[in-house]
Amino acid sequence: EKTLQVRNLKKHFNLGKDRILKAVDGLNFDIYKGETFGLVGESGCGKSTAGRTIMNLYKRTDGQVLFNDKDVHHLSDEENFKLKRQMQMIFQDPYASLNPRSTVADIISEPMIIHKLYKTEKERMARVYELLEEVGLNRDHANRYPHEFSGGQRQRIGIARALALDPDLIIADEPISALDVSVQAQVVNLLERLQEDKGLTYLFIAHDLSMVQHISDRIGVMYLGHMVELTSSEQLYDKPLHPYTQALLSAIPIPDPDVEDSREQVIIEGEIPSPIDPPSGCVFRTRCPLAMEACAEVKPVWQEVEKDHFVACHLYNDDIEDKTPIKGQPNLITN
């Protein structure tokens, strides 16, 4: 059962003077009910824009987003209002998204008031207390203000607010990136427990593969507005196919100091090109050690190279005959 279907989704920003920023340039993926889908890429790759376009916070430029089989960009006002209940977002910086002048109770109540969920304040407050407990806080926190809390506690408040409307899908945009390492695991554990209890579906956005490795069922890797690889979490770590994924993975240190890290360390050289003037052909070619002539001319097709393993790279395309790497490409630095 599919909660979300994303088809050739594009979000371009017109910057004037014929300059167009292609933040998201043709994404295709599904998210199944009850799963956690990790969306990963370096900052500026378009992952947050993708999240916001899926939420209909940005109008799409092209393509389609089906949420529970409904096209989110083609809804009546009433349907859109309902959709807002079923899809919620949590943000990287909970502090910036919590009104400093509102009490925790007001922050969590607000969506319930907008959607007229409870007839009396008493019923609503009972729900607020329940939500606070569900996220590991308690009713004594209800009358306090965001600045009185630690970063991890604020993220819990943000999660409680997202849960207030009992959503199906939560889009979490780097929800743990701003937190201390010691607190990150607690928030991840909380999200996992809530998912199990409530049957939630997550789109979990992160800039680092190590952050999504444990929580995700499947992972999509983005680079410069494109998805370059998508498969199950295990498959991605065991057998990454795209040169970009391979480079990202080799940058993750093995956490156990007793295990010798025998993998090749691959360092990606060079800066990410601008999404205003992306490279022709494969967008990764300016940094890819294996780039061949075809990479500058032909855009790689998104293909399922083995079951449930998608990749966009000419290395896996039998129609490309000459796969000799071009001289002068950035080197793999191995050690």
Q: Which does 300 bind (CB under 5 to 8 A by kind): ligand SF4, Mg ion, none?
A: ligand SF4
Q: Which does 141 bind (CB under 5 to 8 A by kind): Mg ion, ligand SF4, none?
A: none
Q: What does the buried/exposed string (b/e) look like for 198-233 if buried means 16 or more CB atoms within 10 Å of the residue's CB? A: eebbbbbbbbbbebbbebbebbbbbbbbbbbbbbeb
Least distance to ligand SF4, CB of residue 23, Å: 20
Position of minimal CB gap to Mg ion: 48
Q: Which does 146 bind (CB under 5 to 8 A by kind): Mg ion, ligand SF4, none?
A: none
Q: Which does 230 bind (CB under 5 to 8 A by kind): ligand SF4, Mg ion, none?
A: none
Least distance to ligand SF4, CB of residue 323, Å: 8
Least distance to ligand SF4, CB of residue 282, Å: 3
Instruction: State the chain's maximal CA–CA distance in angstroms.
Output: 71
Q: Which does 165 bind (CB under 5 to 8 A by kind): Mg ion, ligand SF4, none?
A: none
Q: Is 88 in the site for Mg ion (CB under 5 A)?
A: no
* Cβ nearer to ligand SF4, comparing 197 with 318: 318
Measure the CA–CA gap between 240 and 248, rounded to whole angstroms: 10
Q: Which does 48 bind (CB under 5 to 8 A by kind): ligand SF4, Mg ion, none?
A: Mg ion
Least distance to Mg ion, CB of residue 257, Å: 32
Q: Which of 3, 36, 48, 49 binds Mg ion (CB under 5 A)?
A: 48
* Cβ nearer to ligand SF4, comparing 189 with 334: 334
Least distance to Mg ion, CB of residue 222, Å: 11
* Listed ranges 42-50, 102-110, 136-144, 319-327: which one lies at the site for Mg ion (CB under 5 A): 42-50
* Cβ nearer to ligand SF4, comparing 47 with 242: 242
Residue type, 180: D
By the criterion CB under 6 A, which residues form the site for ligand SF4? 242-243, 282, 284-285, 288, 290-292, 295, 300, 313-315
Query: Which residues form the interface with Mg ion (CB under 5 A)?
Result: 48
